[in-house]
Amino acid sequence: YYFLFGGLVAFTLPAFRALLKRYWQWIIVSVGVLYAVIGYELFRDSGQGQIKLNVATSLKPSMFLYTMACLLAVYALCLWMSKKQSKWTHWLGLLGKYSYGAYLIHALILTYLMKILRELQLFHTGVWGSMVAFVSCSILSFAISYGLGKLPFGSWLVGAAEKKTKKIPSSQKEWQNAG
């Protein structure tokens, strides 16, 4: 469904953006309400003082709706941020440009990173271990994707090809400027 939805959005992008602009408040409210519903379901169905994360699977209707609301909210936030030129937009744009390559390589990086962390017996278990592994894997995956993207034809590997701008012949520019 998510891929079909993405295709529909791409096909109707201007209308979709207009809807997001009009209903962004409702999207934010729905994220909050659905977050509360999912939290309630987690505590209700877990019992015995321990939270069972398998209660909130992506196949549940509440998780599906929450995921969709989050996707819409993040896209609306990105549209809002893209209107402002700052260091954040530069870095987020760079991160977005190389995110596909980072996604492709992260499993390999995570495999070897966890082997190293286990051998060193550093941060290989628990919440802190998850945080260290997440941050390290993210940084390494992005760095490798960025490095590969700078090689000749490397952008084909990581999906970071520059968007081509449509060039207008000079003879047509004169007609456009005259009209």
pLDDT at 179: 46
Per-residue pLDDT at 51 exceeds 70: no
Clarify whether residues 49 and 120 are in a common domain: no
Clarify whether residues 52 and 110 are in a common domain: no
Clarify whether residues 139 and 70 are in a common domain: no
Q: State the angle between helix axes of 87-120 and 126-150 in degrees (0 to 180), rounded to the nearest 10.
A: 120
pLDDT band at 163 (very low <50, low <70, confident <90, very high): low
- Interval 54-65 mean pLDDT: 80
Per-residue pLDDT at 138 exceeds 60: yes
Q: Which of 48, 83, 118 is the last residue of a domain?
A: 83
Clarify whether residues 89 and 68 are in a common domain: no
Percent of the chain with pLDDT over 70: 83
Per-residue pLDDT at 34 exceeds 50: yes
Q: What is the pTM (predicted TM-score) of this model?
A: 0.59
Token pair 């408040």: residue: 25
Per-residue pLDDT at 53 exceeds 70: no
Domain span holding position 1: 1-83
The model's pLDDT over 94-103, given as tens digits with 9 standing for 90+, comes to 888 888 888 8
Please check whether residue 104 lies inside any domain of the structure.
Answer: yes
Other CB atoms within a 10 A radius of the CB of residue 133 amount to 17
Count of domains in the chain? 2
8 Å CB contact between 136 and 113: yes
Clarify whether residues 33 and 102 are in a common domain: no
